[in-house]
């Protein structure tokens, strides 16, 4: 299952590819920095050091099924999923009993892919329903990694909801020059015309290929075979390779063109010809115009033949992306990105693919306010916040969710809490830090800080519930799932002006949330918020309750730990009537988002 033929390699010569191995001879430093990055390890064969999980007999129970991770012949990682009987004992038949072929990811969590013919032929591959969380060093069900309500106990379809086909999904963003190779059942030849394996029994079958696993050199620089051939010329070597039009250099492109290199994977989009992409791959090449091949998805995007806007839940009401993998859209919406002009902001302004920081790949000297001060001649005390708050805190607030984390927005904007008074459908920058305050309070502070916005008072009257608690508390109890996880994330930040004991008491009720991802956030938050120095040593009972709590377990197994935490941490910040009213609001905006 770990043989490369499981997914197939492109004919590199026909595709004009060289492979990263040939780049190292002339660019050793760049290749070394790439190898240290998470782009390099996006997709790898399931062998050796590529597998970050133990696969040593661990189990995880979820929705009435047990996943067991072991190793088979030759140490190949293996997954078996079985239904559980009334006594918690596995009963057959197994839902899955497969060897792992590929790993996907190495930063937040690692996912696993196996060859499973579900009608798509022997080349069909599927992402498995469990993943290894690197920070916690534990297994998680994929259902709990995405924002969706709890599935039904014992329902195989719910358990396998995120058994996603790799061939026409993951392959495109996690590899270089990917060709999904989807064929109609009646076809018997591959995307380049060569004879292929016999079709499966489904409507489509797959003969997927990649130029190289992971995001390699040619993903960002384009096919390099012609460039390498040119460099064989003695005259070319004497003059150096700079300016060779046979290869793309993102650092020498304009803001839009350089950002187009990142856009295919960091900006979910709709292809101009989806069927062609699924058959023969995306024909966009670095240095060309991305818009010629696809359009980025926005809140008002529609699918051909329909007036519906199915992507709207992935954006806040003002159009700002609320999920990761929409960073490109956030950039396009930012005033700093000036379309087609030399001074505009592009991805490379802040990020460096060959820098010294593999995590987030932030360019040296562009941390925090330093990313802005090159263009904006502002004092560090801008706005009266002082050095404790940098530009990102206000202008790129943490209102994005992805990969079980709260993240900064890539839409650069100026905070205006007055515009959101009386509304409860979007977080604002000010109260994500001032977690004990309302939007009306935040709006009143802006004129005193020297900002014009907010002058003249609120744009609309406050809603009655604004008097019940802070904006973050209202989001925590009555917001949609993204608001709830971001409220939890806000409460974990060490600079917030609320004592740790109080923040912990606010979080306990979220341990019973209907969404497993929200419970995961609350559990990690309670463990990460350390006791303030003047409050004494950690309570042993709290530590024991948090250790006993499992966000993925059945409700009956979770409740004893939740009750123990309530007893030690004190009452919730709201009355039972207020809590009930806010919890009813949660049902007004249900999300089912697989990112």
What are the tens digits of pLDDT across the range 32-50? Answer: 999 999 998 889 999 888 9
Percentage of residues of the chain with pLDDT beyond 90: 68
Nearest-10 crossing angle of helices 555-569, 500-507: 150
pLDDT band at 1 (very low <50, low <70, confident <90, very high): very low
- How far apart CA 493 and CA 389 sit, in angstroms, is 12
Measured between alpha carbons, how far apart are the two ends of the chain, in Å?
28
Structure tokens, 105: 């990811």
- How far apart CA 200 and CA 118 sit, in angstroms, is 8
Q: Which of 467, 507, 504, 502 is closest to 487 using CA atoms?
A: 507
Which one-letter DSSP state was computed for residue 219?
Answer: H
- How far apart CA 161 and CA 313 sit, in angstroms, is 19
Strand-strand pairing, 102-104 and 58-62: unpaired
Tell whether the torsion through CA atoms of 573, 489, 585 and 150 is positive or negative: negative
- How far apart CA 102 and CA 117 sit, in angstroms, is 16
Count H helices and E strands in the chain, helices first: 23, 17
The predicted-structure confidence for 216-264, as pLDDT tens digits, reads as follows 999 999 999 999 988 887 766 655 556 788 899 998 999 999 999 999 9
Percentage of residues of the chain with pLDDT beyond 70: 90
**What is the total residue count of the chain?**
595
Helix (H, G, I), strand (E, B) or coil at 426: coil
pTM score of the predicted model: 0.92
Place of tokens 């020059």: 177
Helix (H, G, I), strand (E, B) or coil at 354: coil
Residue 12 has pLDDT above 90, yes or no: no
pLDDT band at 192 (very low <50, low <70, confident <90, very high): very low
- How far apart CA 499 and CA 521 sit, in angstroms, is 19
Contact 399, 490 (CB under 8 A): no
Contact 214, 42 (CB under 8 A): yes
The predicted-structure confidence for 364-407, as pLDDT tens digits, reads as follows 999 888 888 878 876 655 666 766 678 888 999 999 999 999 99
More confident residue, 530 or 73: 73
Helix (H, G, I), strand (E, B) or coil at 557: helix
- Those residues with Cβ within 8 angstroms of residue 484's Cβ, 6 or more apart along the chain or in another chain: 475, 476, 510, 513, 515, 518, 521, 586
Q: What is the pLDDT, as a whole number, of residue 448?
A: 76
- How far apart CA 292 and CA 508 sit, in angstroms, is 50
Contact 396, 367 (CB under 8 A): no
Q: Which of 374, 363, 385, 520 is closest to 448 using CA atoms?
A: 385
More confident residue, 3 or 353: 353
* 430-455 mean pLDDT: 83
Contact 485, 517 (CB under 8 A): yes
- How far apart CA 161 and CA 198 sit, in angstroms, is 28
The predicted-structure confidence for 285-333, as pLDDT tens digits, reads as follows 999 999 999 999 999 999 888 889 999 999 999 999 999 999 999 999 9
Strand-strand pairing, 77-83 and 65-71: antiparallel
Structure tokens, 240: 């150096």
239: enclosing H helix or E strand: helix 234-239
The predicted-structure confidence for 84-102, as pLDDT tens digits, reads as follows 998 889 998 999 999 999 9
Contact 468, 574 (CB under 8 A): yes
- Those residues with Cβ within 8 angstroms of residue 441's Cβ, 6 or more apart along the chain or in another chain: 434
Q: Which of 568, 544, 554, 543 is closest to 519 using CA atoms?
A: 554
The predicted-structure confidence for 151-163, as pLDDT tens digits, reads as follows 999 999 999 999 9
- How far apart CA 23 and CA 279 sit, in angstroms, is 29
- How far apart CA 81 and CA 90 sit, in angstroms, is 9
Q: What is the pLDDT, as a whole number, of residue 533?
A: 53
pLDDT band at 458 (very low <50, low <70, confident <90, very high): low
Structure tokens, 278: 């699924």
* 71-86 mean pLDDT: 95
- How far apart CA 439 and CA 433 sit, in angstroms, is 12
Phi, psi of 538 (to 5 degrees): -60, 140
Helix (H, G, I), strand (E, B) or coil at 332: helix
Residue 492 has pLDDT above 90, yes or no: yes
């Amino acid at each position: 299952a770990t043989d490369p033929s499981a997914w197939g390699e492109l004919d590199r010569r026909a595709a004009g590819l060289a492979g990263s191995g040939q780049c190292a001879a002339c660019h050793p430093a760049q290749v070394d920095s790439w190898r240290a990055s998470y782009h390099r390890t996006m997709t790898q064969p399931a062998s050796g050091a590529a597998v970050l999980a133990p696969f040593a007999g661990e189990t995880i129970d979820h929705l009435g099924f047990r996943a067991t991770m072991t190793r088979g012949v030759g140490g190949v990682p293996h997954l078996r999923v079985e239904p559980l009987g009334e006594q918690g004992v596995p009963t057959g038949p197994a839902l899955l009993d497969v060897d792992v072929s590929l790993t996907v990811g190495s930063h937040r969590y690692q996912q696993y892919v196996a060859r499973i013919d579900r009608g798509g032929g022997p080349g069909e591959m599927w992402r498995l329903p469990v993943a290894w969380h690197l920070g916690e060093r534990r297994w998680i069900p994929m259902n709990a990694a995405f924002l969706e309500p709890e599935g039904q106990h014992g329902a195989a379809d719910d358990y396998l909801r995120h058994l996603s086909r790799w061939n026409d999904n993951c392959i495109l963003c996690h590899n270089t020059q990917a060709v999904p190779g989807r064929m109609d059942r009646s076809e018997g030849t591959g995307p380049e015309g060569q004879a292929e394996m016999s079709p499966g029994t489904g409507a489509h079958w797959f003969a997927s290929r990649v130029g190289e696993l992971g995001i390699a050199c040619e993903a960002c620089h384009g096919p390099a075979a012609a460039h390498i051939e040119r460099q064989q010329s003695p005259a070319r070597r004497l003059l150096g390779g700079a300016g060779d039009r046979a290869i793309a250099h993102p650092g020498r492109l304009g803001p839009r063109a350089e950002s187009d290199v990142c856009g295919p994977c960091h900006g979910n989009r709709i292809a101009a010809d989806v069927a062609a992409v699924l058959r023969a791959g995306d024909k966009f090449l670095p240095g060309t115009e991305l818009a010629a091949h696809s359009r980025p998805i926005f809140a008002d995007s529609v699918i051909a033949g329909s007036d519906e806007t199915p992507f709207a839940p992935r954006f806040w009401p003002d159009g700002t992306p609320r999920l990761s993998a929409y960073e490109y859209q956030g950039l396009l919406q930012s005033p700093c990105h000036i379309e087609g002009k030399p001074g505009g902001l592009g991805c490379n302004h802040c990020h460096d693919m060959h820098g010294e920081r593999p995590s987030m790949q932030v360019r040296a000297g562009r941390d925090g306010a330093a990313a802005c001060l090159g263009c904006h001649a502002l004092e560090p005390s801008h706005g009266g916040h002082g050095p404790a708050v940098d530009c990102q805190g206000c202008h790129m607030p943490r209102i994005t969710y992805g990969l079980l984390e709260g993240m900064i927005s890539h839409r650069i904007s100026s905070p205006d809490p007055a515009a959101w008074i009386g509304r409860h459908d979007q977080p604002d920058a000010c109260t994500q830090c001032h977690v004990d305050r309302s939007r009306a309070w935040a709006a009143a502070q802006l004129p005193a800080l020297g900002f014009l916005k907010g002058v003249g008072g609120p744009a609309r009257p406050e809603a009655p519930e604004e008097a019940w608690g802070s904006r973050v508390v209202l989001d925590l109890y009555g917001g949609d799932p993204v608001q709830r996880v971001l409220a939890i994330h806000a409460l974990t930040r060490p600079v917030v002006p609320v004592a740790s004991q109080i923040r912990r008491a606010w979080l306990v009720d979220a341990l019973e949330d209907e969404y497993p991802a929200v419970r995961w956030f609350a559990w990690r938050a309670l463990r990460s918020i350390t006791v303030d120095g003047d409050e004494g040593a950690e309570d042993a009972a709290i530590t024991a309750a948090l250790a006993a709590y499992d966000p993925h377990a059945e409700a009956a197994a979770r409740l004893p730990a939740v009750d123990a935490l309530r007893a030690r941490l004190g009452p919730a910040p709201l009355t039972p009537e207020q809590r009930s009213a806010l919890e009813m609001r949660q049902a007004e905006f249900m999300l089912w988002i697989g990112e």
